[in-house]
Amino acid sequence: MKNIAVIYHSGHGNTEHFARLVVTGAQSVDDTNVSLLKAEPLTGQPDRLIEFDGYVFGSPTYLGGVSGPFKSFMDATGGLWRKQQLKGKLAAGFTVSALPSGDKQSTLLSMFTFAMQHGLVWVGNPFLPEQSSGVPYEQAINRLGSWTGMMAQAGHSAPGQSYAPGDLRTAEAFGRNFASVLARVAVPAEEMV
C-alpha cells in the first residue's frame, strides 16, 4: 500500500476544488491511500510528512508565487531538510490562478526547487495538450500546456464558478498519473542510500 499526501492551501476554495480532483484520480490506482491535508495545520507538525511515500503540493498563484500560507508550510520543513528525511520520496505540484498564464510557472518552479532541496523525485504532468488532436480547447486535457506540474484556471470568486472541463479532467489525470508512477518506482526506505 502506498500513502500519498495531497497538501494544499486555498484562500477562496478554488485550489481546494482541484485538490479534491487530484485525490480522486490518485485514489483510482489500486493499493493507494490518499490523504487530503491543508498546509496550515501541517506547518505546526511537519514531521507528519514522514509517514507518506509521495506528496502532491497545491497552491494558488498569488502575485506570481506560492501563497503565504503555503510558503509557511514549506519553511516549516527545515528540520526535515537538515536530516534529509524525505529523500527519495516522490513529489509533484499544481497551481490555480485567474489568468491563462498569470505567472503560474513561477509557482511550480518554487515547488520544484523545494522538492529538489529535500531530495524528492519530481513527477510532472505528462499529457499532450488534447486540443492538438482536435478536442475543443475548453475540454482538452493539459490545454494550458504545462508539463512541469498541473495548471488550472479559476477566477476570483468562490468555488461553484464554471471551471474549464479540460482543467477538471487534467486534475484527475494528474493525480492518477502520480499514483501510477509511485506504484511503479517506489523504493523501500531501507534500500535508500
Coil/strand/helix, residue 95: strand
Taking the least distance from each CB to ligand FMN, the nearer of 99 and 185 is 99
Q: Which of 96, 150, 171, 173 binds ligand FMN (CB under 6 A)?
A: 96
- Does 110 help bind ligand FMN (rule: CB under 6 A)? no
Binding mask 134-173 for ligand FMN (x = CB under 6 A): --------------------xxx-----------------
Closest separation between CB of residue 172 and ligand FMN, Å? 18
Taking the least distance from each CB to ligand FMN, the nearer of 15 and 177 is 15
Q: Which of 25, 46, 102, 129 binds ligand FMN (CB under 6 A)?
A: 102
Q: What is the CA radius of gyration of the chain?
A: 16
> Please, where are the H alpha helices in 8-131?
14-27, 39-42, 68-75, 78-82, 104-117
Query: 63 — phi, psi (to 5°)?
Result: 50, 45
Q: Which helix (H) or strand (E) holds 59?
A: strand 54-62
Taking the least distance from each CB to ligand FMN, the nearer of 99 and 189 is 99
- Does 15 help bind ligand FMN (rule: CB under 6 A)? yes
Torsion of CA 93, 3, 171, 155, to 10 degrees: -60
Helices 165-185 and 14-27 sit at what angle, rounded to 10 degrees?
50
- Segment 20 to 59, residues that bind ligand FMN, using CB under 6 A: none
- Give the cell for residue 177: 498519473
Closest-by-Cβ residue to ligand FMN is 102
Nearest to 146 by CA among 166, 164, 132, 128: 128
Q: Which of 61, 142, 146, 170 binds ligand FMN (CB under 6 A)?
A: 61
Could you tell me how far CA 66 lies from the centroid of its own chain? Answer: 12
Closest separation between CB of residue 92 and ligand FMN, Å? 17
- Does 177 help bind ligand FMN (rule: CB under 6 A)? no
Q: Given the rule CB under 6 A, which residues bind ligand FMN?
A: 10-15, 60-64, 96-99, 102-103, 154-156
